[in-house]
Amino acid sequence: MQFEITAEEMAKAKVPHELFLTNLIGNHILWFVASLGIVNSMWQPLALVPVVSCVVLLFTIMRAKKERDRGASWYVMCHWQMAARRSMVFLGVLCLLLVISGLGWVGYTYLGMMKVAVLAIIGGIGLLPTLVSVLVLIVMESDAMHQAAQGKLSKGTFERFPNSDVVVLDEN
């Protein structure tokens, strides 16, 4: 659905998607790959990836709540809510990775599992879903950022946050 939105509101509506994409591409792809190259000598840069990600995701969720309570711009608030929902999904995926990694550590340390088996389990059940979700979320957020620049919202978002005062230009 396309709405009559000012250029200033469109620019503000892109911010949550830009933040989320920066986290996914800059942190989870670029920084993660760069820190993998030095993980044998320094593990700290690799450990920063989930820390930075959680900070950004929690900021997005808190800012979305603030935007909803403040009530300044309905269109901007809707885009913050979209980014916050996706942030919560991604936090869930990161928590799954943490649980799987913890279980792998317990299996290796206390149950005598082989290191290769534990790494395969962590990689297949923990890392693979995380990487797939990063790629899917990049596509979804890129589309949402494009929609924010065009004055568009999905029908689902409009139904979740209805506004009878907004002028609808196109229902499709």
| Residues of the chain above pLDDT 90, percent | 85
The reply to whether 169 falls in a domain is: no
Confidence of residue 168 (pLDDT cuts 50, 70, 90): confident
| Residue 63 within any structural domain of the chain | yes
In a domain, 171, yes or no: no
Region 90-111 average pLDDT: 96
Q: Using pLDDT thresholds of 50, 70 and 90, give the confidence band for residue 172.
A: low
For 17-39, how does the pLDDT look when each residue is reduced to its tens digit (9 = 90+)? 999 999 999 999 999 999 999 99
Mean pLDDT, residues 147-164 taken together: 90
147 inside domain: yes
Domain that holds residue 29: 2-161
Cα→Cα distances 12→22, 44, 71, 107, 158, Å: 16, 34, 14, 47, 18
Residue 81 counted as domain residue: yes
Which run of H or E residues covers position 72?
A: none
Provide the number of structural domains found in the chain: 1
Separation between Cα atoms, residue 38 and residue 76, nearest integer Å:
40
Within a domain: 172: no
